[in-house]
Protein backbone atom coordinates (compact mmCIF):
# COMPACT_ATOMS: atom_id res chain seq x y z
CA UNK A 1 0.00 0.00 0.00
CA UNK A 2 1.03 3.60 -0.61
CA UNK A 3 0.49 5.62 2.56
CA UNK A 4 0.70 9.36 3.10
CA UNK A 5 1.18 10.00 6.80
CA UNK A 6 0.81 13.52 8.17
CA UNK A 7 2.11 14.72 11.53
CA UNK A 8 3.35 17.74 13.47
CA UNK A 9 7.00 17.64 12.41
CA UNK A 10 10.12 15.53 12.82
CA UNK A 11 12.25 14.89 15.90
CA UNK A 12 15.35 17.10 15.98
CA UNK A 13 18.29 17.67 18.30
CA UNK A 14 16.65 20.75 19.83
CA UNK A 15 13.38 18.90 20.48
CA UNK A 16 13.85 15.13 20.15
CA UNK A 17 10.26 14.30 21.17
CA UNK A 18 8.45 16.57 18.68
CA UNK A 19 6.74 14.39 16.07
CA UNK A 20 8.12 11.20 17.60
CA UNK A 21 4.77 9.37 17.86
CA UNK A 22 4.03 10.00 14.19
CA UNK A 23 7.49 9.03 12.95
CA UNK A 24 7.40 5.85 15.01
CA UNK A 25 4.20 4.80 13.26
CA UNK A 26 5.51 5.84 9.85
CA UNK A 27 8.63 3.69 10.35
CA UNK A 28 6.56 0.75 11.63
CA UNK A 29 4.15 0.86 8.70
CA UNK A 30 7.08 1.09 6.26
CA UNK A 31 8.79 -1.90 7.88
CA UNK A 32 5.55 -3.84 7.41
CA UNK A 33 6.12 -3.63 3.64
CA UNK A 34 4.31 -0.42 2.70
CA UNK A 35 5.55 2.65 0.86
CA UNK A 36 5.26 5.57 3.28
CA UNK A 37 5.71 9.27 2.63
CA UNK A 38 5.54 11.58 5.64
CA UNK A 39 4.34 15.21 5.42
CA UNK A 40 4.33 17.89 8.10
CA UNK A 41 3.64 21.60 8.26
CA UNK A 42 5.55 22.95 11.24
CA UNK A 43 3.85 26.14 12.41
CA UNK A 44 5.58 26.53 15.76
CA UNK A 45 6.84 29.95 16.75
CA UNK A 46 10.17 31.60 15.91
CA UNK A 47 11.49 30.52 19.32
CA UNK A 48 11.75 27.00 17.90
CA UNK A 49 14.61 27.93 15.58
CA UNK A 50 14.77 26.03 12.30
CA UNK A 51 15.30 26.61 8.61
CA UNK A 52 12.31 28.24 6.87
CA UNK A 53 10.60 26.62 3.92
CA UNK A 54 10.66 23.04 2.67
CA UNK A 55 13.18 20.53 3.96
CA UNK A 56 13.27 16.85 3.13
CA UNK A 57 15.11 13.65 3.89
CA UNK A 58 14.86 9.92 4.31
CA UNK A 59 14.83 8.11 7.63
CA UNK A 60 14.54 4.38 8.28
CA UNK A 61 12.59 3.65 5.10
CA UNK A 62 10.38 6.76 5.26
CA UNK A 63 10.72 9.66 2.83
CA UNK A 64 9.76 12.84 4.69
CA UNK A 65 8.93 16.42 3.72
CA UNK A 66 8.46 19.21 6.26
CA UNK A 67 7.47 22.78 5.48
CA UNK A 68 8.65 25.12 8.24
CA UNK A 69 6.51 28.22 8.60
CA UNK A 70 7.17 29.86 12.00
CA UNK A 71 4.14 32.07 12.66
CA UNK A 72 3.91 32.26 16.43
CA UNK A 73 0.79 32.39 18.62
CA UNK A 74 -2.28 32.91 16.45
CA UNK A 75 -5.80 31.44 16.83
CA UNK A 76 -5.97 27.70 16.20
CA UNK A 77 -8.46 27.92 13.32
CA UNK A 78 -6.36 30.52 11.46
CA UNK A 79 -3.26 28.42 12.08
CA UNK A 80 -5.06 25.35 10.72
CA UNK A 81 -6.27 27.20 7.62
CA UNK A 82 -2.73 28.37 6.86
CA UNK A 83 -1.53 24.82 7.35
CA UNK A 84 -4.23 23.59 4.97
CA UNK A 85 -3.04 25.97 2.23
CA UNK A 86 0.58 24.85 2.60
CA UNK A 87 -0.34 21.17 2.77
CA UNK A 88 -2.41 21.42 -0.42
CA UNK A 89 0.59 22.89 -2.23
CA UNK A 90 2.90 20.18 -0.88
CA UNK A 91 0.49 17.48 -2.03
CA UNK A 92 0.18 18.91 -5.56
CA UNK A 93 3.89 19.57 -6.04
CA UNK A 94 5.52 16.57 -4.35
CA UNK A 95 3.30 13.54 -4.90
CA UNK A 96 3.34 12.02 -8.36
CA UNK A 97 0.62 9.48 -7.59
CA UNK A 98 -2.30 9.54 -5.19
CA UNK A 99 -1.79 7.47 -2.03
CA UNK A 100 -4.09 4.59 -1.18
CA UNK A 101 -4.68 5.98 2.32
CA UNK A 102 -4.01 9.27 4.10
CA UNK A 103 -3.29 8.83 7.80
CA UNK A 104 -3.05 11.98 9.94
CA UNK A 105 -2.16 12.33 13.62
CA UNK A 106 -4.09 14.76 15.83
CA UNK A 107 -7.39 16.31 14.77
CA UNK A 108 -5.94 19.77 14.12
CA UNK A 109 -3.37 18.22 11.76
CA UNK A 110 -6.01 16.12 10.02
CA UNK A 111 -8.09 19.27 9.58
CA UNK A 112 -5.40 20.55 7.22
CA UNK A 113 -5.94 17.54 4.92
CA UNK A 114 -9.73 17.80 4.51
CA UNK A 115 -9.57 19.60 1.12
CA UNK A 116 -7.21 16.93 -0.21
CA UNK A 117 -9.35 13.97 0.82
CA UNK A 118 -12.54 15.57 -0.49
CA UNK A 119 -10.98 16.48 -3.82
CA UNK A 120 -9.26 13.12 -4.38
CA UNK A 121 -11.73 10.78 -2.61
CA UNK A 122 -8.97 9.06 -0.62
CA UNK A 123 -9.70 6.99 2.51
CA UNK A 124 -8.76 9.11 5.51
CA UNK A 125 -7.70 7.91 8.95
CA UNK A 126 -7.08 10.00 12.05
CA UNK A 127 -5.14 8.90 15.12
CA UNK A 128 -5.90 11.13 18.08
CA UNK A 129 -3.35 11.55 20.88
CA UNK A 130 -4.43 14.89 22.36
CA UNK A 131 -4.89 14.79 26.13
CA UNK A 132 -7.16 17.87 26.00
CA UNK A 133 -9.89 15.62 24.65
CA UNK A 134 -10.04 14.03 28.11
CA UNK A 135 -10.84 17.35 29.77
CA UNK A 136 -14.33 17.88 31.14
CA UNK A 137 -14.38 21.28 29.44
CA UNK A 138 -12.73 21.80 26.06
CA UNK A 139 -12.39 25.00 24.02
CA UNK A 140 -14.90 25.57 21.23
CA UNK A 141 -12.19 25.97 18.58
CA UNK A 142 -10.52 22.67 19.48
CA UNK A 143 -13.85 20.86 19.69
CA UNK A 144 -15.23 22.24 16.41
CA UNK A 145 -12.05 21.38 14.51
CA UNK A 146 -12.08 17.89 16.03
CA UNK A 147 -15.73 17.33 15.07
CA UNK A 148 -15.20 18.45 11.48
CA UNK A 149 -12.07 16.33 11.12
CA UNK A 150 -13.49 13.19 12.72
CA UNK A 151 -16.73 13.33 10.72
CA UNK A 152 -14.71 13.50 7.48
CA UNK A 153 -12.59 10.48 8.44
CA UNK A 154 -13.09 6.91 7.31
CA UNK A 155 -11.83 5.78 10.73
CA UNK A 156 -10.79 7.47 13.95
CA UNK A 157 -8.19 5.74 16.10
CA UNK A 158 -7.67 6.63 19.76
CA UNK A 159 -4.53 5.60 21.64
CA UNK A 160 -6.45 4.47 24.74
CA UNK A 161 -9.93 3.37 25.76
CA UNK A 162 -10.34 6.40 28.01
CA UNK A 163 -9.59 8.72 25.09
CA UNK A 164 -11.98 6.78 22.84
CA UNK A 165 -14.75 7.21 25.41
CA UNK A 166 -14.06 10.96 25.65
CA UNK A 167 -14.15 11.37 21.86
CA UNK A 168 -17.43 9.46 21.66
CA UNK A 169 -18.94 11.62 24.41
CA UNK A 170 -17.80 14.93 22.93
CA UNK A 171 -18.18 14.31 19.18
CA UNK A 172 -20.45 11.28 18.78
CA UNK A 173 -17.73 9.43 16.82
CA UNK A 174 -16.81 5.82 17.55
CA UNK A 175 -13.10 5.02 17.67
CA UNK A 176 -10.92 2.00 17.24
CA UNK A 177 -8.26 1.74 19.95
CA UNK A 178 -4.63 1.17 18.91
CA UNK A 179 -1.88 2.17 21.37
CA UNK A 180 1.25 4.15 20.68
CA UNK A 181 4.42 2.33 19.71
CA UNK A 182 7.42 1.43 21.83
CA UNK A 183 9.65 2.65 19.04
CA UNK A 184 13.19 2.49 20.41
CA UNK A 185 14.90 -0.89 20.69
CA UNK A 186 17.80 0.43 22.80
CA UNK A 187 15.56 0.35 25.90
CA UNK A 188 15.32 -3.44 25.62
CA UNK A 189 19.12 -3.67 25.69
CA UNK A 190 19.49 -1.83 29.01
CA UNK A 191 21.59 -3.62 31.58
CA UNK A 192 21.73 -2.22 35.10
CA UNK A 193 24.88 -0.53 36.36
CA UNK A 194 25.45 -1.57 39.99
CA UNK A 195 25.01 1.30 42.43
CA UNK A 196 24.23 2.05 46.03
CA UNK A 197 20.88 3.31 47.24
CA UNK A 198 17.48 3.53 45.56
CA UNK A 199 17.11 5.73 42.49
CA UNK A 200 13.85 7.05 41.01
CA UNK A 201 13.56 8.64 37.56
CA UNK A 202 10.84 10.66 35.80
CA UNK A 203 10.80 11.52 32.10
CA UNK A 204 8.34 14.26 31.18
CA UNK A 205 7.84 17.85 30.19
CA UNK A 206 8.30 19.86 33.37
CA UNK A 207 4.81 21.34 33.28
CA UNK A 208 1.93 21.49 35.75
CA UNK A 209 -0.03 18.60 34.22
CA UNK A 210 2.82 16.17 34.88
CA UNK A 211 2.96 17.16 38.58
CA UNK A 212 6.76 17.32 38.98
CA UNK A 213 6.41 19.54 42.07
CA UNK A 214 4.28 16.88 43.74
CA UNK A 215 6.98 14.33 42.98
CA UNK A 216 9.69 16.50 44.55
CA UNK A 217 7.56 16.99 47.66
CA UNK A 218 6.90 13.26 48.01
CA UNK A 219 10.56 12.49 47.41
CA UNK A 220 11.51 14.92 50.19
CA UNK A 221 9.22 13.05 52.59
CA UNK A 222 10.86 9.79 51.54
CA UNK A 223 14.34 11.27 51.97
CA UNK A 224 13.52 12.31 55.53
CA UNK A 225 13.22 8.58 56.29
CA UNK A 226 15.71 6.99 53.89
CA UNK A 227 18.99 8.81 53.26
CA UNK A 228 20.13 6.62 50.37
CA UNK A 229 17.47 7.72 47.84
CA UNK A 230 17.94 9.77 44.67
CA UNK A 231 15.63 11.36 42.10
CA UNK A 232 16.25 12.27 38.46
CA UNK A 233 14.25 14.25 35.89
CA UNK A 234 14.68 13.88 32.14
CA UNK A 235 12.95 16.67 30.24
CA UNK A 236 12.50 20.41 30.35
CA UNK A 237 9.69 22.91 30.63
CA UNK A 238 8.27 26.02 32.19
CA UNK A 239 8.49 24.69 35.77
CA UNK A 240 12.17 23.74 35.72
CA UNK A 241 13.43 26.95 37.36
CA UNK A 242 10.78 26.70 40.08
CA UNK A 243 11.66 23.05 40.71
CA UNK A 244 15.39 23.78 40.95
CA UNK A 245 14.67 26.51 43.50
CA UNK A 246 12.39 24.18 45.46
CA UNK A 247 15.08 21.49 45.54
CA UNK A 248 17.58 24.03 46.89
CA UNK A 249 15.10 25.31 49.47
CA UNK A 250 14.54 21.75 50.72
CA UNK A 251 18.28 21.13 50.87
CA UNK A 252 18.20 18.10 48.55
CA UNK A 253 20.11 19.49 45.57
CA UNK A 254 22.71 16.71 45.94
CA UNK A 255 19.92 14.13 45.74
CA UNK A 256 17.94 15.46 42.75
CA UNK A 257 19.37 15.76 39.23
CA UNK A 258 17.88 17.56 36.22
CA UNK A 259 19.15 16.05 32.95
CA UNK A 260 17.23 18.30 30.57
CA UNK A 261 16.06 17.02 27.20
CA UNK A 262 17.61 13.79 25.99
CA UNK A 263 17.24 11.54 22.96
CA UNK A 264 15.82 8.06 23.48
CA UNK A 265 19.29 6.54 23.11
CA UNK A 266 20.59 8.85 25.84
CA UNK A 267 17.56 8.08 28.02
CA UNK A 268 18.25 4.35 27.75
CA UNK A 269 21.80 4.89 29.02
CA UNK A 270 20.53 6.99 31.93
CA UNK A 271 17.91 4.38 32.88
CA UNK A 272 20.71 1.87 33.51
CA UNK A 273 21.56 3.86 36.64
CA UNK A 274 18.01 3.87 38.06
CA UNK A 275 15.67 1.43 39.81
CA UNK A 276 12.13 2.79 39.36
CA UNK A 277 10.23 5.10 37.02
CA UNK A 278 7.71 7.40 38.70
CA UNK A 279 5.40 9.97 37.09
CA UNK A 280 2.31 11.22 38.99
CA UNK A 281 0.70 12.87 35.94
CA UNK A 282 -2.77 14.40 36.27
CA UNK A 283 -3.75 13.47 32.71
CA UNK A 284 -2.43 11.14 30.02
CA UNK A 285 -4.01 9.80 26.85
CA UNK A 286 -1.56 6.90 26.81
CA UNK A 287 1.87 7.28 28.41
CA UNK A 288 4.74 6.16 26.17
CA UNK A 289 7.26 7.15 28.85
CA UNK A 290 5.96 4.39 31.13
CA UNK A 291 6.31 1.61 28.56
CA UNK A 292 9.78 2.85 27.58
CA UNK A 293 10.78 2.58 31.24
CA UNK A 294 9.28 -0.91 31.55
CA UNK A 295 11.14 -2.07 28.44
CA UNK A 296 14.32 -0.79 30.11
CA UNK A 297 13.54 -3.05 33.06
CA UNK A 298 12.20 -0.41 35.45
CA UNK A 299 8.99 -1.02 37.41
CA UNK A 300 6.76 2.05 37.35
CA UNK A 301 4.61 4.12 39.67
CA UNK A 302 1.79 5.73 37.68
CA UNK A 303 -1.48 7.50 38.32
CA UNK A 304 -4.96 6.49 37.23
CA UNK A 305 -5.15 9.39 34.79
CA UNK A 306 -6.53 8.12 31.48
CA UNK A 307 -3.78 5.98 29.96
CA UNK A 308 -1.43 4.08 32.31
CA UNK A 309 -4.21 2.11 34.00
CA UNK A 310 -4.65 0.17 30.75
CA UNK A 311 -1.19 -1.42 30.93
CA UNK A 312 0.27 -0.94 34.43
CA UNK A 313 -0.36 -4.10 36.46
CA UNK A 314 1.00 -5.62 39.67
CA UNK A 315 3.50 -7.44 37.44
CA UNK A 316 5.16 -4.22 36.28
CA UNK A 317 4.35 -1.51 38.79
CA UNK A 318 1.83 0.33 40.95
CA UNK A 319 -1.17 2.57 40.29
CA UNK A 320 -2.10 5.43 42.61
CA UNK A 321 -4.65 8.24 42.72
CA UNK A 322 -4.10 11.64 41.14
CA UNK A 323 -2.84 14.49 43.37
CA UNK A 324 -2.36 12.37 46.47
CA UNK A 325 1.02 13.22 47.97
CA UNK A 326 0.84 10.68 50.78
CA UNK A 327 -0.22 7.87 48.45
CA UNK A 328 2.69 8.73 46.16
CA UNK A 329 5.14 8.77 49.08
CA UNK A 330 3.80 5.42 50.31
CA UNK A 331 4.17 3.89 46.83
CA UNK A 332 7.75 5.13 46.56
CA UNK A 333 8.51 3.68 49.99
CA UNK A 334 6.97 0.34 49.05
CA UNK A 335 9.01 0.33 45.84
CA UNK A 336 12.12 1.01 47.95
CA UNK A 337 11.62 -2.41 49.53
CA UNK A 338 10.20 -4.39 46.59
CA UNK A 339 11.77 -3.10 43.35
CA UNK A 340 14.03 -6.15 43.00
CA UNK A 341 11.01 -8.49 43.07
CA UNK A 342 9.81 -7.48 39.59
CA UNK A 343 10.65 -9.84 36.73
CA UNK A 344 12.45 -7.77 34.09
CA UNK A 345 12.06 -10.43 31.39
CA UNK A 346 8.30 -10.62 31.94
CA UNK A 347 7.98 -6.82 31.75
CA UNK A 348 9.89 -6.70 28.49
CA UNK A 349 7.95 -9.59 26.98
CA UNK A 350 4.67 -7.83 27.81
CA UNK A 351 5.81 -4.61 26.11
CA UNK A 352 7.11 -6.52 23.09
CA UNK A 353 3.84 -8.39 22.66
CA UNK A 354 1.53 -5.38 22.92
CA UNK A 355 3.48 -2.26 21.92
CA UNK A 356 6.32 -3.26 19.59
CA UNK A 357 6.54 -1.81 16.09
CA UNK A 358 5.45 -5.13 14.61
CA UNK A 359 2.44 -5.56 16.92
CA UNK A 360 1.09 -2.05 16.42
CA UNK A 361 1.86 -1.93 12.68
CA UNK A 362 -0.17 -5.12 12.16
CA UNK A 363 -3.20 -3.47 13.74
CA UNK A 364 -2.78 -0.21 11.81
CA UNK A 365 -2.39 -2.02 8.49
CA UNK A 366 -5.53 -4.04 9.24
CA UNK A 367 -7.43 -0.74 9.50
CA UNK A 368 -5.94 0.43 6.18
CA UNK A 369 -7.11 -2.75 4.45
CA UNK A 370 -10.56 -2.45 5.97
CA UNK A 371 -11.15 1.14 4.77
CA UNK A 372 -9.78 0.28 1.32
CA UNK A 373 -12.27 -2.58 0.99
CA UNK A 374 -15.08 -0.29 2.08
CA UNK A 375 -14.06 2.35 -0.49
CA UNK A 376 -14.41 -0.02 -3.47
Domain regions of the chain by residue span: 2-181+356-375, 185-354
pTM of the shown model: 0.88
Which run of H or of E encompasses 277?
strand 276-279
Rg (CA), the chain: 21
Question: Which CATH number is 2-181+356-375 given?
Answer: 3.40.50.2000
CA distance 106 to 180: 13
Angle between helix 161-171 and 140-151 (nearest 10): 100
Residue 309 carries which DSSP code? Answer: G
Task: Give residue 339's pLDDT.
Answer: 94
Superfamily for domain range 185-354: Glycogen Phosphorylase B; (3.40.50.2000)
Task: Give residue 135's pLDDT.
Answer: 73
The DSSP result for 148-209, as a single string, is HHHHT-SEEEESSHHHHHHHHHHH----EE-PPP---GGGGG--PPP-SSEEEEEES--SGG
Count how many residues are written for the chain: 376
Task: Give residue 184's pLDDT.
Answer: 65
Model confidence pLDDT, tens digit, residues 156-188: 999 999 999 999 999 999 999 999 998 767 788
Extract the residue ranges of the chain whose pLDDT is less than 70.
Answer: 46-50, 184
Residue 319 Rama label (left phi>0; alpha psi -120 to 50; beta) = beta
| 203 C-beta neighbours (distance < 10 Å), count | 24
Task: Give residue 239's pLDDT.
Answer: 98
Task: Give residue 141's pLDDT.
Answer: 85
Residue 310 carries which DSSP code? Answer: G
User: How far is C-alpha 318 from the geometric centre of its chain's CA atoms?
Assistant: 21
2-181+356-375 against 185-354: fold identical: yes
Task: Give residue 109's pLDDT.
Answer: 94
Residue 148 Rama label (left phi>0; alpha psi -120 to 50; beta) = alpha
Amino acid sequence: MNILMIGRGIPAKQNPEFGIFEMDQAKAVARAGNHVIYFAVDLRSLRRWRKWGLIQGRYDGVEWFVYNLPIGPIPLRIRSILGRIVLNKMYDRILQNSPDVIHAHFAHIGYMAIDIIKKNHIPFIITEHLSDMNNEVIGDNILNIAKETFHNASRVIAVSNTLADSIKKKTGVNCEVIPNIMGESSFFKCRKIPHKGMRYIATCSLIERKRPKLLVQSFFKLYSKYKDVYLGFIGDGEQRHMLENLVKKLGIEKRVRFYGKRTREQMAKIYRKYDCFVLPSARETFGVAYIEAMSAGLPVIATICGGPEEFVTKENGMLISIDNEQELTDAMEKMYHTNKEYDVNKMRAYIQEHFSMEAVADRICAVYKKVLRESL
